[in-house]
Amino acid sequence: MIDEFLQVEEIQVLTLANTEAIIEQRTLPFLRFILENGSDFIMSMIPMEIAIAISAHQNGHSTQDSRLRIHDLVGELAIIQKVEIDSIVPGTGVYQATIWLLPEGFNQSISYSMIPSHATLLAVLNDAPIYVSRRLWEEYIAQKEEAQQDMDFDVSE
């Protein structure tokens, strides 16, 4: 079965914490993907350093650290072609992504399974498109609607 994908139009880094909690890393951020169909897809439990790097890049800030990080190195060694958030790791409930890249000196793309937040950072840093599986998005919407129904109860009864 060929999976259809929805392209990500915008990414927002969100947190439910106040500034002190963020500094103390007592909460982990969310990534909100705004999709081409106008809806959203949210991933939670994003590592703080990944969220900070995405946000810093989006806001035109650079880090004071001159050391090369792994996400910088990958972008130096390969062209990031696209990222697809495409499945759930069996038995865990966590998302998985596939990153497509063209290593320097190669004439054929290769792909790797990755943690979606890390793959998203690579895509953001390298201006590569990001896609979400339509099937995953539909499951996400169904879970969101179910959670909303669970919250919509009449307390006056």
19 or 9: which carries more pLDDT confidence?
Answer: 9
- 156 inside domain: no
* Mode of pairing for the β-strands spanning 78-88 and 130-133: parallel
- 87 inside domain: yes
Percent of all residues in the chain with a pLDDT value above 90, rounded to a whole number: 61
What is the pLDDT at residue 1? 44
63 or 96: which carries more pLDDT confidence?
Answer: 96
pLDDT at 128 over 50: yes
Domain with 11, as residue range(s), is 5-151
The tally of domains found in the chain comes to 1
- 107 inside domain: yes
- 98 inside domain: yes
Provide the CATH number for the domain around residue 79. 3.10.690.10
- 157 inside domain: no
- 111 inside domain: yes
- 117 inside domain: yes
Instruction: Say how many C-beta atoms besides its own lie within 10 A of residue 72's C-beta.
Output: 14
Kindly report the pTM of this predicted structure: 0.84
**Residue showing tokens 């350093």:** 49
